[in-house]
Structure 1
Amino acid sequence: MNRGFESIIDRLAREFWRAAHVREQQHAQMQARSLAEVRAVDQAQRALDAAPAADAAARERAQVARHQAEAAAQGAQAKLAVARLERLLADGLARDLRIPPADLRASSTPTALDTRHLPKILPKPEWETFAPEKPGRLALAMPGASGRYEQAVAKARSEFVHAEREHEASKIRRAQGSMILQIAQQKATEAARAESARHNAAVADFEGALLRGEAAAITGYARIVLSRSPYPEAFAQTLAAHYVEHHKLLAIGYDVPTLDAAVPVVFDYHYHPAQGLVQGVPASEAVRAKVYANALRQIVLRSLHELFSVDPLHQVNAVVFNVYASDGDARVCLASVHATRADFTALRLAEGDPEVHLAALGARVSACPEALQAVAPVAGVDMTTVVTDADVAVDRRFNLMTLSDKDFTQVMFHLLRSHGFEGPPLLPGEQAGMLTCRAWDPHPIFGGDVVVHVYREMHNGARLEIAAARTMLAEMQKIGAARGMLMTTGVFDDGVEEFARDRRIELLAGHHLVFLLKENAGVDASVIVPEALATTAAPF
């Protein structure tokens, strides 16, 4: 049964994974920085900086010492990465597996208005910085000096007026961009509140279903538990989960990286003075394969421990856990086990060898996982239900296509004003989804009346035909407008650009509007028609 909370829980699981992933990488970086070999690199660099420039021999010795320290540091970091793989099970056993209920819920705290990306206001020009230096009496007595000074003053006055105009225009751009930003912020806040309400209602439904032992809730919680478990950077932790209620059996399919992605190729580095290079010494394939196989066994035991240890999954009596790695487009099963709760809890995971523990559970483990040698799974797991970040991604951009007619009109009005246009507000045009106005461009040379037509196309792939450009040209000719601005949230049909090129018609398609909103208001926008709206009637 498809429950309404499934997509919310899947998204929550991936958010937990991203948070755990970031924390683990930060922890790994902190550990790396604390290594004595890494600290020695800074010491060697300071020694090199302190070496006298005139003492070439001392500087050469300091340079060699720094390169040797770099080689030692790289080797220590590689060994640290291997050590993290070797203690996967121990780290998992030490984790607190409890999930506070508040961690499952969303808050609708509005974010502060971020004005950092609004256009900057240009400094107010001062005449003193433009005015030419007035010549003295003697200089003015020279032939033509007075005329040249007057020309310099006139030129400076023109530049000053232009700077004043640019200053005022920058104030307008920022003010209008701020208005657009406030609309976007308001819509984002409204959307966040609605999303939080939906999220929390879904979580409440999920918690009730979990208490009743419903399959969708059991699999959702299993995803959350495993996704919260931090692993090294190469582990994307994509997984599939299924629950068979009448057997109380949880089946998990778990993706792991291949040998080359998970285990460093080089464990040791050396500096060769003759070549002046730090070179790595590749580890033997046998050593890397042993590290990889041991990591796989630990992942299986650690995951079983996490699933059997959390209280909300107490209904689960057995777990089938399959480990997969990708061989091109196909998945290869590298380990598979069917473990009952009683058999697993009898193990003393803190002691003994993971290989022995898995043997006690009757697990099937690949003899050569580094070569992706497959084993037959105890039971198949449908891996088509794997959830990735792309599956749960939420587009939180400011979508012009989901705005009300009023809000869309306001955004377009402020966008026009940010260009310096003046005039009446936008009004509905003759066609459905059309806004129009007769604006005024105050530019002293290129200004004049501007005919503005805006089309909001509520269909994906909409193309504005050449008839719209012909209609604009007719209106421009009728009122003697200096130019026209034809805007659409879609794209222009073939021939429109050629028609507009020599007729003083500026074209702005949907991607132009997205760019202008980012440029003038610092707003990440989109013009994507949601499926629910694509079949509805046109606005306005």
Structure 2
Amino acid sequence: MSRVPAHKLITSICLGRYFMVVGRGRYNPYLEQERLRAAAARRQAAEIRAREVQERRNARLREQAHLQDRSREVDEKNQEVADELHALANLLADGVASARPLDFESLKAEPKLPPFDPQGQARAWPEPTWEQFQPKPSGFFAHLLPGAGDRVKATTLAARQTFEAKHTEWVGREKARQAWLIHAKGAYEAECSRIKEETALLNADVDAFSGAYKAGQVEALNQYFELVLERDELPDGFPTTVRLAYVKESRQLVVERQLPLVAVVPTVTAYRHVKASDSIVATTRPALQIREIYVSTVSQLALRTLNLLFGADASGAVDSVVLNCFVDTISPETGQRVTPCLLTVRTTRDILVAHDLRKVDPIACLRHLNAEVSPKPHELKAVRPIVNFNMVDPRFVEKPNILGQLDQRPNLAVLTPTEFEGLITNLFEKMGLETRLTQASRDGGVDCVAWDMRPIVGGKVIVQAKRYKHTVGVSAVRDLYGTVLNEGAAKGILVTTSGYGTASFQFAENKPLQLIAGGELLYLLDQHSGVKAKIEFPEEWTDPRPDLVEADVPTIVVQPPAERVSTEAPTTAS
């Protein structure tokens, strides 16, 4: 058998494969391209599907992130509401925890000295030296050239002149720098001395203020308690307006403090996210709940103020506090600015200390203190203040020169008994009462019977006036109450040119008695009669019948059986 050449074998194999392909059909290049296009379309479709899947995944992630953002926003809003409610609910507790006397040292200042700024003149400029200007030595071959020595001398001379000019310039600049520095340091030390002197004067004023407060000076006491209330850290949205006046005769502090409006109570109970509309919806707080929270807030602020004032009174100058709480707003009925009093209360230190304000119900506690609280404070229903702040003017006793033009005003202290009787009678007639004079009392005042002609609320009124220089004792209040009972009168009014003590106010509490002090008398005369009067007693004045002052309350001393019981008051200097 003959062998087949290799090249023929390879050719037959290739032709066999070709004919095998042709046997199944002719080769179509367009069909191959179509297959390639189909494969590319499938890849593109797969890529599109992958992108769509990724987009849906990203959309879900974005939606989840948006929902989380909305959830955080809702949580933040709800936390703000919770914080506001917590501040209102703990208004009294926080105030009790922070109540303390005013630290006078905290009012002092440390001198804040600015740093000295030399403005770049603290360091001297570098002093020029000869080595910086000295010419470099000539080389060996330079010395061999003609005139080399003359050139060296000329170069050295020029360098020396330049050096001396630069050094002279440096000396002048250094002298100017040192002179400026001396002047700047002098001005700085003068400024520091001025700041230290101003600080020392301020601290001296604080020391003087502290001494005046401890001495019981009225103006210092007023300023002290104003600072105490100004430093009271109240929640956001609470006003800080206060007015106060210290009445030395009765050791009573009369305070007006502005209340927040009902808008301080959050009107939203909670926030929630509505996924369907992608909105945050607020749940409105019921009107009844808003009113309850507002009444509680007002009550807590009143008790907080009372506790703060008594707690800050380190010198014990205040025996009682009258607090009037008001709001400053626009009346929805008239559109005019109104300041109705929504709460008024008077209490003493001993009574308030007997209450644990951390555990009391604020509304019940005020009711126990016989406070007058507006039945509808959200509707601005006012109550009558126990003491009208405009009636309190203790300055006419302490500093009569403050009132100005005293020589043009009638002095009630020098009126005759008849003139004083006519003044009181005319005053109450101007106030709408029908008056009848009785026989003048032996203390220089007048007993007056008046009638309030209003139905139901009116009736017979017993008016007694005492033209006193010193504090009217509690015995006069007891006498008036006995007269009211004996006469069957509806009310008793005691008018004096001086003032009353704590025991008098305590006795008159919850009784049909009204005590009008000298400052209130001046106010009533001005408001109802147009008489701008003053009260100035001469130094030698003696009260017609010295009444018992607060320190003169009779004491009962238990004696052995063989001795009697003494109820006489100790003798004190008037």
TM-score, scaled to structure 1: 0.46
Q: Of the two structures, which has the highest relative contact order with CA contacts closer than 8 Å and spacing of 6 or more?
A: 1
TM-score normalised per structure 2: 0.43
